[in-house]
Every structure is written in C-alpha cells, then in structure tokens.
Structure 1
Amino acid sequence: MIRLADVTRYVRSKNAGPFWVTIDILFKDEAHYRRYKDAPAISAEKIAEYYEADPAALKVFQIDTLGAIKISLPRKQPQGGVLERDMHSGQQYVRLLGIQVE
C-alpha cells in the first residue's frame, strides 16, 4: 500500500483568493513524479470526489519541470464567511496524504 505521503516531498494547500483553494503536490523526485502523476487516485474526478466539488470546476496543472501537480478548486464557502472553517485553506491538503496511489 503506497500512499501519496510516501511518494511526495510536500503536499500543501493555500488560499487562492476568496473563492478558490490551491493544492500543491510536490513529488520526491522526477521518477516518483513520472510514475504517479497520472495515478487514478489523484485524477481531477477523484480530487473532486474527495472535496465534494464539481470535476468540471477543477483546474489541474501538471508541471513537469517542477515535478509537481497544482490543483485549484472552488471553496465551498467564501473566505471569511460565517460558515467558512479554514480561513487560509492551510489544512485542506490533509485528506489527500493517506490516499493510496498504488
């Protein structure tokens, strides 16, 4: 069982404005990036499922020169709104660490 946390150097999330969250997945090295960048567990459809978002609304960028994947998705609640629970989106990445990529 290989988890995303086992093949990455960093997985982080951050605020991308009042309506968006960005998740960065930075792999340990080029070999890990090449092997797992197209893993079904981190496809746009699966990421949308994990975050209960519309897959069509996600923006996914594979950045070969950095060995990274950048995913932007709409927030469920606007930043700073009454129901918003993570103002800077700094905790949104955690649910991805344990997913099986192989």
Structure 2
Amino acid sequence: MSTVRDVCHHVRSKNAGPFWVTFDLFFDGPESFAKYGEAPALGPQLFERLFGADPAFVQRYPVASLNMVKISYARTEPQGGMVERDMHRGQQYVRLLEVELD
C-alpha cells in the first residue's frame, strides 16, 4: 500500500481565510500525480472522518502543471475560537501522511 508520505515530496496545511482550511499535496512526479491525484481515498469522507468537515463543503483542485492537488474544506468553527489549538492549521497535514491511497 502506498501512503501520502510515500508519493508526495511535500504536504502542507494552512488557513484559507478564517472559514476554510486548505491542504496542498505535491506529488513526487507526473506518474504519481496521474495515479493518485484523483484517489478516492482522498475524498470528502476522509476529511469528514479526520477533521469533522461536512463532505458537501470539501473541494478538490488538481493542478497538473505542478503535480499537485489542493483540497479545501469549510472549518467547523471560525478561526480563533476559545478552544483553538492550531489557529493557523499548519500542523493538520500530519494526519494525512499515513493515509493509504491504493
């Protein structure tokens, strides 16, 4: 089984404004992008399970010229709430690294 860690040379997460979070998955080449860029394992159900995101508000943007996929979802609560532990969402990508893609 290939994981995100195996086929991406860089993965990051960050805020996309106070109401959205975005993940950038940079695949290690056009072959990996072609094979895994549309993997069902990276679908809305994953973001619902890992982050509590509403699957209806998960959006995927493939960028073939960069061999990358941007996946964004609406935050369950706006940025800066009282219980916010990662206000900039810079550490959220770690949960994706072991996701199996095959």
TM-score with structure 1 setting the length = 0.91
Q: Is the 8 A contact 1:4 1:101 kept in 2?
A: yes
1:1-102 equivalences in 2 (<5 Å): 1-102=1-102
- Structure 1 runs of 4+ aligned residues shifted over 3 Å read none
Matched pairs, number: 102
| Aligned-pair CA distance for 1:75 | 1.7
Flag structure 1 segments of 5+ consecutive residues without an equivalent.
none
Over the aligned positions, Cα root-mean-square deviation in angstroms equals 1.2
Counterpart CA distance in 1 for 2:6 and 2:47 is 18
> What's the CA shift string for 1:39-98, capped at 9, x where partnerless?
121123323332221111112111111111101112222211112111111011110000
Flag structure 2 segments of 5+ consecutive residues without an equivalent.
none
Q: Is the 8 A contact 1:77 1:83 kept in 2?
A: no
Higher share in helix? 2
